[in-house]
């Protein structure tokens, strides 16, 4: 049996604007950041909110991504943007504090009721070693 590596995969590019992205310039095959705007390429894959463990193939224990809301899990876009920043954290000139704030702002925009808990977890348990502090 082949294990699926990723939970989600973009079926179209996703573009996002945020004031903290102004002055950040980066481009590779998966993401472009310029003039305050981030575009993530179609077919970018990620694992949603983590950690998550599968028990005996029967159920999962871990951080929920939220029920489907407007056709996507509630934390879909926040986890997407955060995962891009984490994956390329040694290449994108952005601070952990800015990444956490952007994650928080997306969850706020999407009205995720567990936002304070998720933001605290990302801040304390997520990667700490971004290019700038």
DSSP for 7-35, please give it: SEE-SS-EEEE-GGGTT--EE-SSEEEET
Using 50, 70 and 90 to split pLDDT, how confident is the model at 62? very low
* CA angle (70, 59, 68) in 5-degree steps: 5
pLDDT score of 115 more than 90: yes
Residue at 2 is within a domain: no
Domain span at residue 80 reads: 8-125
Predicted TM-score of the model (pTM): 0.84
Residue at 98 is within a domain: yes
- The rounded percent of the chain whose pLDDT value lies above 70 is 80
Residue at 133 is within a domain: no
Number of domains in the chain: 1
């Amino acid at each position: 049996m082949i294990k699926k590596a990723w939970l989600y995969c973009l079926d179209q590019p996703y573009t996002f604007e945020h004031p903290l992205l102004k002055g950040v310039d980066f481009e590779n095959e998966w993401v472009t950041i310029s003039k305050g705007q981030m575009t993530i390429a179609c077919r970018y894959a990620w694992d949603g909110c983590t950690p998550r463990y599968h028990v005996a193939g029967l159920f999962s224990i871990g951080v929920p991504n939220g029920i489907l809301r407007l056709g996507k899990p509630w934390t879909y876009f926040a986890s997407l943007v955060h995962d891009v920043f984490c994956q390329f954290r040694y290449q994108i000139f952005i601070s952990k504090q800015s990444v956490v704030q952007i994650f928080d702002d997306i969850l706020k925009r999407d009205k995720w009721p567990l936002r304070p808990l998720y933001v605290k977890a990302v801040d304390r348990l997520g990667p700490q070693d971004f290019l700038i502090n």
